[in-house]
Chain A
Amino acid sequence: MKSRFLFFIKTILNSYAILFFSQNSVLGGILLLVSFLNPLAGMSGLCCVMFTAALIKTSGYQREHIQTGIYSFNNLLLGLAFGTFYQFNMYYVIWLIFTALLLLMITVVLAERLGKLGLPILSIPFILCFWILLLSADSLFKIGLVSKSSVVMQEVYGATANLSYLHNYLSFNLPDLLCLFFRSFSAILFQDNIITGACIAIGLLIHSRIAFSLAVLGFLVAHGLNASLNIYPDDISYYHLGANFMLATIAIGSFFTIPSIRSYLWAIACIPVIFILINAFSVILAAYNLPVFSLPFCVISFTLLYFLLLRKDVAHLQLVKLQHYSPERNLYQFINQQNRLNNLQYFRLRLPFMGSWTVSQGYDGNITHINDWGKALDFVIEDEDKKTFKFPGTLPEHFYSFNKPVLSCGDGVVANVVDNVEDNAIGIENLLENWGNTVVIKHIDGLYSKVSHLKKQSIKVKIGDTVKQGELIGLCGNSGRSPEPHLHFQLQITPYIDAKTLSYPFSYYVSRKNEQERMASFTIPKQGDVVNPVAIVNATAKAFDFQPGYTATLVGEPGVNEQLEVFKDEFGQTYFYSITSGATAYFINDGTQFYFTSFYGSHQSLLFLFYLAAYKITFTDNDHVVVHDVFPLHLLNNKPLLWLQDFVSPFFRFINLTYRAVNPPPKSGAIQSTQVKQVFGKQKILMEATISLANDNIQGYCITVNGNHKNIEWVKSNTY
Chain B
Amino acid sequence: MIAETGLLLLWLAAALAVLQALAGFAGLSRRGEYVAISPAARPLAVLQGLLCLAAFGCLIALFLRTDLSVLLVADNSHSAKPWLFKFAGAWGNHEGSMLLWLTILGLGSIGVALFERQLAPRIVSATLGAQAVLALGFYAFLLFASNPFARLSPAPPEGAGLNPLLQDPGLAFHPPTLYLGYVGLSVAFSFAVGAMLAGDANRAFARAMRPSVLIAWVFLTLGITAGSYWAYYELGWGGWWFWDPVENASLMPWLAATALLHSVSVTANRDGLRAWTIMLALVAFSMSMIGTFIVRSGLLTSVHSFAVDPTRGVFILVLLALYIGGALALFGARIGKVASGATFAPVSREGALVMNNLLLSVILAIVLIGTFYPIAAEALGYRLSVGPPYFNRAAGPIALGLVALLFVGPLLRWRRDRLARLPVIAWMMLAIAGVGAIALVVLVPRSAILPALGLALGGGLAIASLLPLTRRSLRRTPATTWAMVIAHFGVAVALIGMASNAAFTEERLIALRAGETTTVGPWQVELTAIDPVVGPNWTAIEGGLVARYDGGAPTTLHPQLRAFTTPPTETSEAALLTRWKGQLYAVLGQPTSEGRWQLRLWWKPFVTLIWLGGILIALGGALSLVARIGLLRRARHYVRQVMP
Chain A bound to chain B: no
Which chain A residues have a beta carbon within 8 Å of chain B's beta carbons? none
Which chain B residues have a beta carbon within 8 Å of chain A's beta carbons? none
